[in-house]
Structure 1
Amino acid sequence: MNTKTRRIGSVAAVAVATALVITGCSGGGAASTSKSTSAPAGGNLIIDDAQDAVSMNPTTTFDNTSLYIMEQIMQPLFTVTKDGKGTQPDLATGYTISSDKKTYTISLRKNVKFSNGQPMTSKDVKFSLDADTATGNTGWGYINGAISSISTPDPDTVVIQLKHAWSPLIADLSLFSNSIVPYNYAGQSASEFYTHPIGTGPFKWDFWNKGRSLKVVKNTDYWQPGLPKLDSVTWNVVPDDNTRKLQLQGGQADIDALPTWATMNSLKGMPGIDATSFPSTEIDYIGFNEQKAPFNDVHVRQAISAAIDRKSLVSAALFGHGTPANSLLMPGVPYYDAKTPGIQYDLAAAKKDMAESSVPNGFTVNFGIQSGNSEEATIGQIVQSELQKIGITVKIQQIDPTTLHAQVQAGQYEMAISIWTMDIPDPDEWVTFAVNPTGGAHSAFTYYNNPSVIALAQQGEQTTTSSARQTIYTKLQDQVAADAPMAWMFYVPYAYPTSSKVHGFYVTPLGNYPLQDVSLSK
């Protein structure tokens, strides 16, 4: 949302919508992480993050910090490939499709246990998928909108009946929200269960000191022999950029999960540190709350988008590690169209739009950014200066990241920095999240609502040929650009500086980082 927590380098989120998670973003090379994984097993990996997790319920959570943690505990039927371009079996071993493309028969992996020792069966799978679907418009349930029914002919088989052909189904089943949990939450209520979730993943729950740290430990019942290599993983909440950097340098942390590019530049070549970036599907944008006037005026939104010099943002805030964004979709995501112009920097056009708007003499707006984040502070200052040229006075509000995330999700903001990273190798997750107000998050918390765009999104879901889907998504990208529900800024790789003691760590283009193969040397 995943929207998801800003990663300068999703799960599920915002510099705001700290939310919303896919494949290689241009600008900013990806360094190889082919370090030896022969380091001794064991040890506790320490990850510093700028904000705390919000929830461990994958069906209703949109921030990356939460999502990347829960993915170590709970697993779906399928998972994304390392290159972010496809899926592969996880708790499933394969599937068949009927000739009318409306029935999927899925074979489950045998001898899989939950971390409480309970065997996983098709009964658990049906329960989990139904629970996700039931969240409807309040969570990720929209992702399963094409499912008509789920049956379990035997403990090792699940049959999914669709309402109509649905191209993204297997990709959808790889989404964290469709992770498998025990039937009936192992006898607990959902709210109680997700305070200490049980899954089939490489790690299991230990503790959560909210606002401070969260820890998972090795799942000794994990179905992959010899994994995980680590004894435990701890995420510490460290909001300040410089403090995270100093803790990484001093050995108090092994990974900085949210560095600025200034931090990355300063760490390159430093002994004991690997300043690594990875190809991404991240898009950073400014979201407008259309519930708040004058953002319900398309001319205002177009004016702001045209007034922003994206090249300046990439240079000043990212130190050149990025590419100006031209589309709702990102390079590497299926059906991204590089020829879609979007709204680019054009001060004359911005002034014209303001003159035609409901506020030709300008207005004052509150602009939410994460406190302690120097990169967002730079973006805020540039945007403030540029919008002043078209009569808009920007009041920058530096807000604690966790609080800002909550405000955006509650619609209690005017304008804020957000990001999205893909979580599946299909555009539908983000497109529906971003443009359909019933898609789980009020159109990425912008409250954008254009029936013709919603119709295009639905056509894209139900169309099975690649060429036809490309035509649909190109048209959608053009229309969304014209409506300007958000001012997308840039595409940027994921940055994750680590201690050189960390081996086997990598980040997929979807933003998640599987930790089962990671190890620590002394």
Structure 2
Amino acid sequence: MKHLSSKYLAVILLVAMSLVIAACSNDSTPELITEEPTSQTTAEDVQIGVASDPVSLDPHGANEAVANTINAAIYDGLVYLDSNSNIQLRLAENLEQIEDTVWEAKIREGVYFHDGSELNAEAVKLSLDRVRDPEVASPVAFLFGMVTEVRVVDEYTVHIETEFPFAPLPSHLAHTAGSIISPTLIEQSYEDLANGGNPFAAVNEHPSGTGSFKFESQDPGNSVSLSNNEEYWGEDAANVDKLTFRVIPESATRIAELETGGIDINLTVFPSDITRLESNTETKVQQINSARLAYLGFNTEVEPFDDVNVRRAIHMAIDKDALVQGIIDGAGIPAHGPISPRINGYSDNINSIEYDLEEAKSLLAEAGYADGFDVTLLTDDNRERQDLAVALQAQLSELGITVSIDTYEYGTYLERAGLGQSEIFLGSWGTVTLDADYGLYPVFHSDNVGAPGNRSRIVNAELDELLEAARQESDYKTRVNLYEEVQNKLADESPYAYLYFPDNLSSVRSEVEDFWQYPSGYFYVRDVRMNK
């Protein structure tokens, strides 16, 4: 029997929120923190500026930052991530791996949903079955693709069975996709589906979870309001009376509202705003490195990118420091590997390809392209990637490579990249679970060639074996060692040129405390307090 000890829980997603990461260099592992902060509720309505409406207030119906931020306040999961990205127990009193492919969750008793429904094992099963149901077609179903069955053992015990041993399962359960929804709403959503309706409508219109905030109202295009759940079951109750998410599409307007006190928190800040906000004593910038990799991908099935020396030469000719300064105004770090220092499984003990223009020219000549060649770069109409394409066009000209830029709207760009209708392409990949498995397996395993994520179309048996072994390994240090091997193999093969990890940026009024952002991109607002 394999028990999920507090020590293992703490390291399964050990992703520090500071710029100095010691997860892989420190032999000690932090203990699971079970104490919750003491509540000091004050009469406050915190105004939060967002760029757009949430896609859905059904956590199975969306996977974007605004929706995830709001849903993380309304709903609870079996486990969650704290501000240090350590996994903590929430609706589960205990979570342990009782067999290689079976996890047992003991559910808290005496917990009720906002609509009065009681939490029990059946409610947990309903939610975890629904998110995986092909008929529902949840956009976050991929996070639980390895789960084969959720079984009710007794009123407050469930067993979660996986197709194969899967060490990162707790990190997937900690995502908002693992939220437990009122069973009353789930039943209504299935009635809607049976009648040809939208399976996410019922939950979106009347969200009901067990979280410390409950849904109050939504005015589409304008605002979403949440109120303090005064009957919250946990000790970490809300510190404010209300959260109001105001839709303010224009960045300049959000900045002005923050400066004048119209909003207390601005969820989206651009690097060009940092100096202005930091020079104002009434505002603060929140800045952490993200789990999102910006990369240049090579279609390894077409010439000349089927030659590893060509791929390595291009990678070596890219000045990543210049890109960080020129494209994102220094708000990020150069990428020396495919996963961020924020990711569980990260190690800096890997081979990396560094900027060396002369060696790049030598490799290109060795491959038979001393005079360079012409190539078309596929990208979408995202402003950052447009600027990045132009910068790379200039840098690669130093190798004699003439780059033409082919731009499409995002959906068409994704389709063409997935179908292999490109030579080289710009992209980004966010490790939403904050675990190395999701940062590597979907992107580089041969099972995922094409639209699922492996757009470089690399097929390598040794790489596949390493990726499979790492996702099944429960010993933390062994997993890290396996991921070091994976990244060294990727350095040899170079299906991508890793560019940078941009910072996540947000801003708050100076009196706002206990607000933070996950490296995966969404925000934790449940602990927010106002120091007035």
User: Is the aligned partner of 1:260 residue 2:270?
Assistant: yes
User: Is the aligned partner of 1:41 residue 2:43?
Assistant: yes
Partner SS state of residue 218, structure 1: strand
Residues 123-522 of structure 1 mapped to structure 2, 5 A cutoff: 123-134=122-133, 139-183=139-183, 185-188=186-189, 189=193, 190-196=199-205, 197-205=207-215, 212-218=221-227, 220=229, 222-224=232-234, 226-227=237-238, 229-238=240-249, 240=251, 242-278=252-288, 280-288=289-297, 290=299, 297=306, 301-351=311-361, 356=367, 360-368=372-380, 370-371=382-383, 379-390=388-399, 391-395=401-405, 404=410, 406-407=411-412, 409-411=414-416, 415-424=425-434, 426-436=435-445, 442-444=451-453, 446=455, 448-452=457-461, 453-520=463-530
Verify the 8 A CA contact 1:343 1:482 in the aligned structure 2.
no
Q: Distance in 1 between matches of 2:57 and 2:404?
A: 35
TM-superposed CA distance for 1:336, in Å, is 1.9
Q: Distance in 2 between matches of 1:139 and 1:44?
A: 30
Change (3 A) 1:392 1:68: farther
Verify the 8 A CA contact 1:112 1:223 in the aligned structure 2.
yes
TM-superposed CA distance for 1:486, in Å, is 3.3
Change (3 A) 1:125 1:53: same
Residues 80-159 of structure 1 mapped to structure 2, 5 A cutoff: 80-84=81-85, 86-98=86-98, 100-134=99-133, 139-159=139-159
User: Is the aligned partner of 1:69 residue 2:70?
Assistant: yes
Highest Rg: 1 or 2? 2
Q: Distance in 1 between matches of 2:294 and 2:358?
A: 22
Q: Distance in 2 between matches of 1:510 and 1:439?
A: 22
What whole-Å deviation, never above 9, does each CA across 1:382-411 have from its counterpart, x for those lacking one? Answer: 3232133342324385x8xxx63x455545
Verify the 8 A CA contact 1:73 1:198 in the aligned structure 2.
yes
CA RMSD of aligned residues (A): 3.8
Q: Distance in 2 between matches of 1:444 and 1:235?
A: 34
Partner SS state of residue 125, structure 2: helix
Q: Which has the higher contact order (CA 8 A, sep 6+)?
A: 1
Tell me the matched-pair count.
Answer: 480
Change (3 A) 1:168 1:118: same
Query: Could you list the runs of 5+ residues in structure 2 that have no partner in the other structure?
Result: 1-13, 22-37, 194-198
Q: Distance in 2 between matches of 1:267 and 1:101?
A: 50
TM-superposed CA distance for 1:264, in Å, is 1.2
State the match for 1:23 in structure 2: 16
State the match for 1:17 in structure 2: none
Partner SS state of residue 166, structure 1: coil
TM-superposed CA distance for 1:187, in Å, is 1.6
Q: Distance in 2 between matches of 1:206 and 1:520?
A: 21
Partner SS state of residue 490, structure 2: helix
Partner SS state of residue 523, structure 2: coil
Verify the 8 A CA contact 2:41 2:238 in the aligned structure 1.
no
Query: Could you list the runs of 5+ residues in structure 1 that have no partner in the other structure?
Result: 1-20, 29-35
Partner SS state of residue 344, structure 2: coil
Q: Distance in 1 between matches of 2:113 and 2:358?
A: 60
State the match for 1:9 in structure 2: none
Change (3 A) 1:76 1:296: farther
The letter of the residue matching 1:232 is L
Q: Distance in 2 between matches of 1:464 and 1:409?
A: 34
What whole-Å deviation, never above 9, does each CA across 1:23-58 have from its counterpart, x for those lacking one? Answer: 346479xxxxxxx99683331422233x55444554
Verify the 8 A CA contact 1:314 1:323 in the aligned structure 2.
yes
TM-superposed CA distance for 1:234, in Å, is 0.8
Q: Distance in 1 between matches of 2:491 and 2:53?
A: 33
Moved more, 453-462 or 243-252: 243-252
The letter of the residue matching 1:174 is A
Verify the 8 A CA contact 1:139 1:441 in the aligned structure 2.
no
Partner SS state of residue 74, structure 2: coil
TM-superposed CA distance for 1:481, in Å, is 3.2
Q: Distance in 2 between matches of 1:216 and 1:474?
A: 45
Verify the 8 A CA contact 1:285 1:486 in the aligned structure 2.
no
What whole-Å deviation, never above 9, does each CA across 1:272-308 have from its counterpart, x for those lacking one? Answer: 1112324x44243125384996796465654443332
Partner SS state of residue 72, structure 1: helix
Verify the 8 A CA contact 1:115 1:219 in the aligned structure 2.
no
Verify the 8 A CA contact 2:327 2:387 in the aligned structure 1.
yes
What whole-Å deviation, never above 9, does each CA across 1:353-378 have from its counterpart, x for those lacking one? Answer: 6664899521232433534x6xx665
Q: Report the identity percentage.
A: 19
TM-superposed CA distance for 1:132, in Å, is 2.9
